Amino acid sequence: MAFDYKSWRNGFILIILRMACVLGLGLLAFSLPNATSIDLVLFISLYSVLFLVTIFPAPYTARATILLLMIYAIGTNAILAWGPWLDGNVFFVALIILSGLLFDQRIDILAVFISIFTFATIGIIQQLGKYHFSAPGVPTTTPLDWIAYTMNFSVVSVILVIAIARFKNEFARIVGQTQSMFQTLIAERIQLENRVRERTEELEVQTNQLRTSTTVARTIAEIQDVSMLLGAVTDQISEKFEYYHVGLYILDEQKKIAFLQAASSTIGKQLIGQGFRVESDPRNGLNKVVELNRAEITSDIEDPNFIRDTNFPITRSRMMLPLAVRGKVIGVLDLHSDQPKAFGTQDAEILQTLADLAAISFDNARLLNETKNLVNQLEVNTSFQTRKTWLKLTTRQKPAYQYTPAGVRPLFSKDKVNIEGMLVPLVLYGETIGTIKLKRKGGISEWSDRERLLVEKIADQVALALENSRLVEEAQKSAMRDQMIANISTRVRETLDVESVIRTAATELRRVFDLKEAEINIGPHQPESGVIRKNANFLRLK
C-alpha cells in the first residue's frame, strides 16, 4: 500500500494524546498535595479536556491545537508561579518541538515568538512590581535574569526549529522518493501483469490452435481418397481457425504452374470449376514459397508491397505455406483473413506442421491409390491369364469325376449331368475353372448355411490344389524341355564335322518328337521350284 501521510499523522497525534493521558495522570497525582486551589482547577480542567479529546473522535487540527494550548497553559502557569527558576521552560521547549512535528506550516516559529513574548511580558510586569510570584520562597529576579533566561531559550529554540525543519525536509524527501518508487513499482507491476496476461492469452490461443490442429490432423489422417482429403484440409482449417478462405494448390512436375485443387470459400470453388491456375511469376508470393520452401506472411498494414488479389478483395492478411514431402515442395496452402495482422510467427509454426501432415497424407493417399490400381491391374491380368490357361487346358481335356455306389468313375461325356442338389463353383483368382455338384442321400435337398460355407472353403482349397498341380506339371514339362535341349546340344557339340553335326541334329529331332521325317538345310533358302544352289548342305531323314 502507498504511504498515507495524513493517516500517519492522525495515528501519531493519537499516540501522543494517549501517552499524555497516562503520564499526565501520574503528574496530576504528584502535584495535587502541594498545588493551590487555582492550580487544582487548572490541572483538572486541562486533564479533562485532554481525556475527552483523546477518547472522542475529533479532527486532527483540533486535537493538535488543543494539545499545544494545554502545554502553553501549563508552561505559562509554571512561569507565573516560579518565574525563570523552575520547569516552565521545559513546557515551552515541548511546545516548540510539537508545533514543528504536528503542523506542516511553520507553527514552530510562531510558537517561538509567542514563548519569547510571554517571557518578556511576565518579566516586565514582575520587574515593575505589578505582579508577584505565587509560589513561596521564589528567589528575587533582576532584569538580567530574565534577559539571560530569554536568550538561552531563544538559542535552544532556534536550534530546535532549524533541526526540526531539516528533519521535516528530509522526511518529506524520503516520503516523496518512497512514493515515487512505489508508483514505479505499481507501474512495473501493472506492466508485468499486462505482460503475464498477454502471454497467458497467447498461450491460450496457442493451446487452442494446437488442440484444433490435432483435431484437424486426426480427421485428415483418416481419409484415403485424394479429392476428399484435399477438400477436408481446406474446410477443416477454414472452420476451426476461422479464416474466410483457404485454398490448396498442387504443382505440376516442372513446378511452374500451380493448380487450385481445393478451396473452402464459394469463390474458390467457382475458380476450381474454371480450372484456375497460377503460373510462375517472381512477383507472386506463391513462387517465393515454392523456391524458398518457407512460409510467406503479408498484411496490408505492415507490407507496403502487399498485392491485393482481385478474386479476394476483402483479404487484409495472407499466409502461404509450402506443402513439402521429403524436402520437395508439391503444393502450397493459401490462407486468407479479413483481419489485419491476423497471422504471426507462432501461427506459421503451428499451421506449417499441419501443412506438412496434409502433404504427407496427400502423398500417402496418392501412393495408396497407385498401389491399389496396380494391384487391381495385376488381379485383372492374373484373372485373364488364369481364364486363358484353364480354357486352353480344358479344351484339350475336360476331366470330370463322379462318385457312385460302385466308386469314383470318370465322366467322358460332354453332356451336362443333371444332379439335383448343391452346385458350388471352383473359383481361382476370380475366374470359375470348374464346379462341384453334391446330392444328399435319401432325397434330402436342403443345405444349411454352415454346410454351404464349409463346401465353399473346400472348393477354394480344391481350386488352389488344381492350380498347384497345373503349375507343377508345367514346371516338369519345362524341365523336360530344358533337359532335352541340353541333351541335343551336348550331342551336337560332340563333333566338329558339319555333316556329323547336321546328321546328329536331324536324328535327335526325329527321335525326340517321334517324327516321320526331319529335314535340315544349310545354305540360302531354296525356292519352291526345287532348284538346288551349289555348296548347300542338305539332309533328310525318313
Tell me what pLDDT residue 304 has: 74
Angle at 514 between CA 511 and CA 517, to 5 degrees: 90
Judgement on whether residues 411 and 338 belong to the same structural domain of the protein: no
Tell me what pLDDT residue 114 has: 92
> Domain of 407?
398-480
Judgement on whether residues 96 and 147 belong to the same structural domain of the protein: yes
Residue whose entry in the numeric block shows the C-alpha cell 444332379: 419
Q: Is residue 132 part of a domain?
A: yes
Task: Look at residue 13 and tell me whether its pLDDT is greater than 80.
Answer: yes
Judgement on whether residues 418 and 294 belong to the same structural domain of the protein: no
Total tally of structural domains belonging to the chain? 4
Per residue in 309-336, pLDDT tens? 888 888 888 889 998 888 888 899 999 9
Is residue 84 very low, low, confident or very high in pLDDT (cuts 50, 70, 90)?
Answer: confident
Q: Are 277 and 258 in contact (CB under 8 A)?
A: yes
User: What CATH number did the domain enclosing 295 receive?
Assistant: 3.30.450.40
Task: Look at residue 516 and tell me whether its pLDDT is greater than 70.
Answer: yes
Judgement on whether residues 83 and 156 belong to the same structural domain of the protein: yes
Judgement on whether residues 137 and 15 belong to the same structural domain of the protein: yes
Is residue 113 very low, low, confident or very high in pLDDT (cuts 50, 70, 90)?
Answer: very high
Q: Is residue 489 part of a domain?
A: no
Per residue in 159-218, pLDDT tens? 988 988 888 888 888 888 888 888 888 999 999 999 998 888 878 877 877 787 787 777
Angle at 203 between CA 201 and CA 207, to 5 degrees: 115
Q: Is residue 380 part of a domain?
A: no
6-45 as b/e: b if 16+ CB within 10 A: eeebeeebeebbeebeeebeeeeeeeeeebeeebeeebee
Tell me what pLDDT residue 416 has: 53
Residue 128 CA from chain centroid, whole number: 98
Of the residues 355, 371, 387, the one at which a domain ends = 371
Q: Are 439 and 421 in contact (CB under 8 A)?
A: yes
Phi, psi of 167 (to 5 degrees): -65, -45
Q: Determine how many CB atoms are found less than 10 A away from the CB of residue 333.
A: 26
Q: Is residue 206 part of a domain?
A: no
Q: Is residue 145 part of a domain?
A: yes
Judgement on whether residues 474 and 519 belong to the same structural domain of the protein: no
Q: Determine how many CB atoms are found less than 10 A away from the CB of residue 95.
A: 26
Q: What is the mean pLDDT of residues 3-16?
A: 80
Judgement on whether residues 139 and 14 belong to the same structural domain of the protein: yes
Tell me what pLDDT residue 194 has: 92
Q: What is the mean pLDDT of residues 263-285?
A: 84
Q: pTM of the full predicted structure?
A: 0.49
Task: Look at residue 18 and tell me whether its pLDDT is greater than 50.
Answer: yes
Q: Is residue 376 part of a domain?
A: no
Tell me what pLDDT residue 171 has: 82
CA distance 318 to 390: 64
Per residue in 354-398, pLDDT tens? 888 888 888 888 888 888 888 888 877 777 777 777 777 777 665
Judgement on whether residues 122 and 148 belong to the same structural domain of the protein: yes
Q: Is residue 386 part of a domain?
A: no
Q: Where are the beta strands (DSSP E) in 345-484?
A: 401-404, 407-410, 422-428, 431-438
Tell me what pLDDT residue 535 has: 37
Question: What are the angstrom distances between the C-alpha of 120 and each of 125, 236, 523, 529?
Answer: 9, 99, 168, 178
Judgement on whether residues 254 and 347 belong to the same structural domain of the protein: yes
Judgement on whether residues 403 and 502 belong to the same structural domain of the protein: no
Task: Look at residue 135 and tell me whether its pLDDT is greater than 80.
Answer: no
Q: What is the mean pLDDT of residues 392-405?
A: 68
Of the residues 427, 458, 480, the one at which a domain ends = 480
Per residue in 425-443, pLDDT tens? 888 777 787 788 887 776 6
Nearest to 317 by CA among 291, 351, 293, 292: 351
Judgement on whether residues 34 and 138 belong to the same structural domain of the protein: yes
- Whole-number CA gyration radius for the chain: 61
Judgement on whether residues 423 and 298 belong to the same structural domain of the protein: no
Angle at 457 between CA 456 and CA 463, to 5 degrees: 85
Is residue 512 very low, low, confident or very high in pLDDT (cuts 50, 70, 90)?
Answer: confident
Q: Are 334 and 312 in contact (CB under 8 A)?
A: no
Task: Look at residue 52 and tell me whether its pLDDT is greater than 80.
Answer: yes
CA distance 101 to 28: 25
Q: What is the mean pLDDT of residues 6-14?
A: 83
Of the residues 435, 452, 480, the one at which a domain ends = 480
Q: Are 224 and 368 in contact (CB under 8 A)?
A: yes
Q: Is residue 500 part of a domain?
A: yes
